[in-house]
């Protein structure tokens, strides 16, 4: 939340929670997925809430915050081979707490934490989008997260500090490993900028209610290199990644239908994040938010009024029939910045337990009358949901 993500995990994992506690399943969307807007949302009583700014500590805060209801580690990036072949990738880990405390249990299977992970690779040359998901409980080393050493895992999908890294470094080099079906990633990510805090000193408000917020920071420029395997062929790749971290205890209110999140890396070394939280009545949302990061890592908050966003084209999924935006005109008038955004592949719909569109995009435009280009990721949720 990326990605207005407060509440995403609660919504995504409603099915798991219902199954774990033998409750009625949450309302399903056509095709059997969980409806993001009507899904089961667990109670928030007893969990820590994001209600006021806090002091962030790194590298500790890269690790888990188990007393909140949910949190996520969200990594996306663009990769290229030496020959210029392009790929996009996503690896995300979600944690959701089943209860605010853990009673004494003798079973090694006992846990109050559930993990989910998504892996996706975009191959525009092959015109293919590969997406996978996993679920497991935080028991018997099947899934979990630790701060020292930093490690997040679900089975053999992992995001971890590189062995031997300086333990005092705010953001250690990270090793990312994940393989499923025809794809496999083995990447090293090295932060080129310090963490930037979203919202009010890291408190990202999503609505007017107390606690309707998350603690949120981003690593907006991670130099990336390693290997990507696809259909038995191995590619040496390098590029840049972005990681979002959020944790908290809240969910989108009933007046909100979903969000459109944009994370862009521009070729002048700056980055732009903007999240539009859509209202069901179509009215502007004063809690839309964003962040500008200059080439030196200095950040500036963006309000809803600072950003102009317009859809320029659409794409209808052949798998689900859902119509998604597939092109945008985005501008920051105060910075004389104008961008046209286009997906590198139209079909980047994750048609998994929860359905949403998240994909790699290219950016092209001008700033102060000079050409500028870039790349990024866009996340679209709530399209095609029941009213």
Instruction: Tell me the whole-structure pTM to 2 decimals.
Output: 0.89
- Distances, alpha carbon 140 to alpha carbons 13, 107, 108, 155, 266, in Å: 20, 10, 6, 10, 43
Predicted pLDDT of residue 252:
64
Residue 16 is predicted with a pLDDT of 40
pLDDT score, position 251: 63
Instruction: Read off the tokens for 74.
Output: 């969200």
Task: Give the per-residue pLDDT at 280.
Answer: 84
pLDDT in tens, the chain (387 residues): 444 333 443 444 443 443 333 333 334 444 445 443 333 344 567 889 999 999 999 999 999 999 999 999 999 999 999 999 999 999 999 999 988 877 777 788 878 899 999 999 999 999 999 999 999 999 899 999 999 999 999 999 999 999 999 988 999 999 999 999 999 999 999 999 999 999 999 999 888 877 788 999 999 999 999 999 999 999 999 999 999 999 998 766 677 788 999 999 999 999 999 999 898 888 888 889 999 999 999 999 999 999 999 999 999 999 999 999 999 999 999 999 999 999 999 999 999 998 999 999 999 999 999 999 999 999 999 998 644
Domain 8-51+67-100+112-380: top CATH class: mainly beta
The answer to whether residues 182 and 130 touch, using CB atoms and an 8 Å cutoff, is yes
122 DSSP β-pair partners: 88, 129
Q: Where are the domains of the chain?
A: 8-51+67-100+112-380
Predicted pLDDT of residue 135? 95
Tell me, what's the pLDDT at 1?
47
Residue in the structure block whose two tokens are 């009024």 = 305
Q: What is the pLDDT of residues 240-281, one digit of tens each?
A: 999 999 999 876 667 778 899 999 999 999 999 999 989 888
Position 153 scores a pLDDT of 98
* Predicted pLDDT of residue 99: 83
With 0-12 / 13-18 / 19 or more C-beta atoms within 10 angstroms meaning exposed / middle / buried, residue 304 is middle
Q: What is the secondary structure of 138-196 as a DSSP string?
A: SSTTSEEEEETTEEEEETTEEEEEPTT--TTSSS--EEEEEEETTEEEEEEEEESS--E
Residue pLDDT, tens place only, 147-202: 999 999 999 999 999 999 998 899 999 999 999 999 999 999 999 999 999 999 99
């Amino acid at each position: 939340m990326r990605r207005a993500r407060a509440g995403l995990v609660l919504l995504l994992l409603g099915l798991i929670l219902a199954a774990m506690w033998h409750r009625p399943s949450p309302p399903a969307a056509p095709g059997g997925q969980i409806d993001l807007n009507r899904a089961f949302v667990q109670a928030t009583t007893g969990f820590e809430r994001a209600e006021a700014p806090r002091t962030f500590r790194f590298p500790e805060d890269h690790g888990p915050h188990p007393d909140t209801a949910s949190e996520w580690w969200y990594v996306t990036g663009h990769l290229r081979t030496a020959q210029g072949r392009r790929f996009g990738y996503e690896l995300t880990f979600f944690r959701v707490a089943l209860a605010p405390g853990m009673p004494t249990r003798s079973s090694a299977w006992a846990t109050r934490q559930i993990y989910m992970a998504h892996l996706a690779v975009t191959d525009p040359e092959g015109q293919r989008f590969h997406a996978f998901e996993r679920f497991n409980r935080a028991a018997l080393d099947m899934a979990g997260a630790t701060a020292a050493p930093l490690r997040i895992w679900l089975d053999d999908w992992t995001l971890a500090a590189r062995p031997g890294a300086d333990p005092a470094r705010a953001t250690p080099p990270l090793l990312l490993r994940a393989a499923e079906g025809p794809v496999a990633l083995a990447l090293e990510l090295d932060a080129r900028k310090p963490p930037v805090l979203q919202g009010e000193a890291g408190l990202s408000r999503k609505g007017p209610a107390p606690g309707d917020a998350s603690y949120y920071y981003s690593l907006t420029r991670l130099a990336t290199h390693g290997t990507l395997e696809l259909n038995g062929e191995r590619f040496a790749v390098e590029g840049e990644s972005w990681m979002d971290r959020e944790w908290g205890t809240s969910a989108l209110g009933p007046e909100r239908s979903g969000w459109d999140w944009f994370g862009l890396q521009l070729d002048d070394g700056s980055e732009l994040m903007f999240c539009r939280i859509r209202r069901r009545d179509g009215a502007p949302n004063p809690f839309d938010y964003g962040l500008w990061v200059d080439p030196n890592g200095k950040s500036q908050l963006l309000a809803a009024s600072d950003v102009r966003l317009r859809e320029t084209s659409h794409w209808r999924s052949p798998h689900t029939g859902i119509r998604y935006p597939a092109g945008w005109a985005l501008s920051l008038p105060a910075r004389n910045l104008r961008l046209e955004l286009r997906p590198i592949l139209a079909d980047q719909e994750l048609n998994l337990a929860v359905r949403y569109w998240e994909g790699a995009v290219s950016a092209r435009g001008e700033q102060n009358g000079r050409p500028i280009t870039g790349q990024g990721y866009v996340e679209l949720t709530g399209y095609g949901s029941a009213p």
